[in-house]
Amino acid sequence: MAQKVALDIPDGVYVNLGIGMPELVADYVPAGREVIYHTENGLLGMGPAPEVGKEDPELINAGKKSITSIKGACFFHHADSFTMIRGRHIDICVLGALQVSQTGDLANWSTGEPGAVPSVGGAMDLVAGVKTIFVITQHTTKEGKSKIVESCTYPLTGKAVVNCIYTNLAIIDVKPDGLFVREMAPGICFDDLQKVTEARLNRYEY
């Protein structure tokens, strides 16, 4: 999945990677492409994890993991960092999801259960400000429920914000007239995919 996302990230763009699975995308940048990673806690030009023993506790990413900085990187404070986000300067953001609706609504910060401690971080700012939002997620929950739904039941992160969904089963574009399957995993056919997907899927006509 992360590799598929990486293939869709063009040369020369600025990308923010969400916490968790999205972080893996950086490992698959195709040769010849230069992509600059933004981490909202104050770094443009995030590099790979440091060698063991070379970690700096004051050089971390949004997921609080140790990272490095590349040549040509720069550090800045949080208000400047979210100027980049809210001001539509970041080209692509890759986020995880609890649910995505067929109109591109995203729920990824809270299950809304009573008593749960809600934590939002930068997710709402990212979906409000980044030009293109990719979601990377398992197609279904551990219990087998579709994460691609008609309408989100969990609290929203943003409405009509997702541009493309990358799952273990398919790549699905969110278009004004619905969800369109662009690619399926080997051995999966459209009908199988629709069966495990609550939202209505469409095929591209060629």
Q: Given CA atoms 16, 20, 22, 25 in this order, what sign does their dihedral have?
A: positive
Single-letter residue type at 66: S
Smallest gap from Cβ 77 to another protein, in A, equals: 4
Tokens of 11: 């040369």
Q: Which of 79, 144, 186, 205 binds another protein (CB under 8 A)?
A: 79
Residue 104 found at the interface with another protein (CB under 8 A): no
Active site residue 51: no
Q: Does 176 bind another protein (CB under 8 A)?
A: no
**Can you tell me the distance from the alpha carbon of 173 to that of 55, in angstroms, rounded to the nearest whole number?**
38
d(CA 195, CA 42): 43
Spatial separation of the C-alpha atoms in residues 17 and 38, rounded to whole Å: 8
Q: Residue type at 96? A: G
Which SS3 state, helix, strand or coil, does residue 176 take?
Answer: coil
Site size for another protein (CB under 8 A): 61
Catalytic residue among 23, 34, 40, 51: 40
Q: Closer CB to another protein, residue 155 or residue 178?
A: 155
Active site residues: 40
Give contact residues for another protein (rule: CB under 8 A). Answer: 11-12, 14, 32, 34, 36, 38-45, 56-61, 64, 69, 71-90, 110, 112, 115, 117-125, 128-129, 155-159
